Each structure stands twice: as structure tokens, then as C-alpha cells.
Amino acid sequence: MDEEQLIQAAQQGDLEAFNRLVTSYQGLAFNVAYRLLGDDFAAEDITQEAFVSAYKNLRDYRGGSFKAWLLRIITNGSYDELRRRQRRPQSPLEPENRDGEEAPDPAWLADPGESPQELAERVELSKAIQRCLNQLETEFRAAVVLVDVQGMDYAEAARVLGRPLGTVKSRLARARSRLQLCLQGYMELLPDRFRLHGERS
């Protein structure tokens, strides 16, 4: 079955069809939540909650991009979690597990073809990017995550965020500028193509 058929079957209560949709989108959903929250355990929780919510509300889906519909649930859940944290701030700079120890990097970061040094450099770069993302306001961060990290076009990101296209473009431009400034502090971690501009000056 194609995606539309799977959605129709799931709307009629076919749990296996819905599980196939979950399998297709769970990596994307987790990555968006992780980049918004900077915490893999919280991202796992939000992703699970979002799929439960999606299943319960699947009859409300009226067509269009299923990915955008699902990611809107993910981003709204992440926003809710970030608001909870602001009311009771307790998030460490580095993600921790439930025992208070520094959490391992998410499995999706692993690349078995990398050397240990390449892996270490990429993990450090990923952490640097996450630190800079964490400094952005939530909706600026979401725009960057959807367009620059996940590769969505502006229109699809606007549907996910429920904002006009012009607003998303404006936020993205400002967020990219702030990220660029922040990442200057991690210049040694950036790939060569990102360093050339800085080295000319």
C-alpha cells in the first residue's frame, strides 16, 4: 500500500497500517524533537506522545502533506515541553539520562564508516550546533530545524509551523545570521567549506 492507502486504512482502525506509518516517520520525528529540545530522552517521550496523539486524532486528518501534519504535532509537543522547562528550569547544557549521567549521543549520529577521530569531530560539531540552536527563540529554532536540518521547503515548513510563508522566511534569515555568529566560536570544528569565508578576512 502507498502512504495514502495506509492513512485511509489507519483511519478505519487498522493498527498495522498505522505502525507502518510510524516506521516511516519515527526517525524524522525524533530528529526534529531532538533538535528542538536538545535532549534525546525528552525527544523520545515527545515522539511517542505525538504518535499516540496522531493515532487518536487521525480522523481529523483531511489530506495534504501527512508529514507536515505529523511534524506539527511534534513541534507543538516540543513547544509545550519547552514552556514546562521555562516554568521549572532544570535542563543541563549537556543532555543527561534519567540517572543524572551524561547521555550517550543519539544512535542516528553513528556512521560505521567513520574513523574514531572523524566520529569525535562530528559529535563535537553536532554538540556545538545544538548549543547554538538552544540559544535561539523557539520558533526561530523550529524554522532552522525544519528547513536547514530536515531539508523542507519554505511552504512545507510554514504549514508545519502554522505561520505565513513570509514570517517563516524572515525568521529563518534572522536565525541563520545568529547561528553563523554563534558558530564562529567553534570555527575549528566546522568543515573546510564553512571556514573559507572567515579565512579570507
Rounded Cα gap, residues 78 and 46, in angstroms: 7
120 C-beta neighbours (distance < 10 Å), count: 11
| Spatial separation of the C-alpha atoms in residues 91 and 37, rounded to whole Å | 10
**Which is higher by pLDDT, 95 or 135?**
135
pLDDT of 183: 82
| pLDDT confidence tier of residue 193, bands split at 50, 70 and 90 | very low
Q: Which of 6-20, 90-104, 167-181 has the lowest mean pLDDT?
A: 90-104
- Convert 94-104 to b/e letters by CB count within 10 Å (16 or more is b): ebeeeeeeeee
What is the model's pLDDT at position 46? 94
Hey, how many other C-beta atoms are within 10 angstroms of the C-beta on 161? Answer: 20
Higher pLDDT, 22 or 196: 22
CATH class of 111-201: mainly alpha
Say what the pLDDT of residue 110 is. Answer: 47
- At 21-75, the pLDDT tens digits run 999 999 999 999 999 998 889 999 999 999 999 999 998 888 888 999 999 999 9
pTM of the model: 0.72
CATH number of 1-91: 1.10.1740.10
What are the cell numbers at 160?
Answer: 508545519
Reported as a single tens digit per residue, the pLDDT across 97-119 is 455 554 444 444 445 565 666 65
Going from N- to C-terminal start, the domains of the chain cover 1-91, 111-201
142: Cα separation from own chain's centroid: 7
CB–CB of 32/24 below 8 Å?
A: no
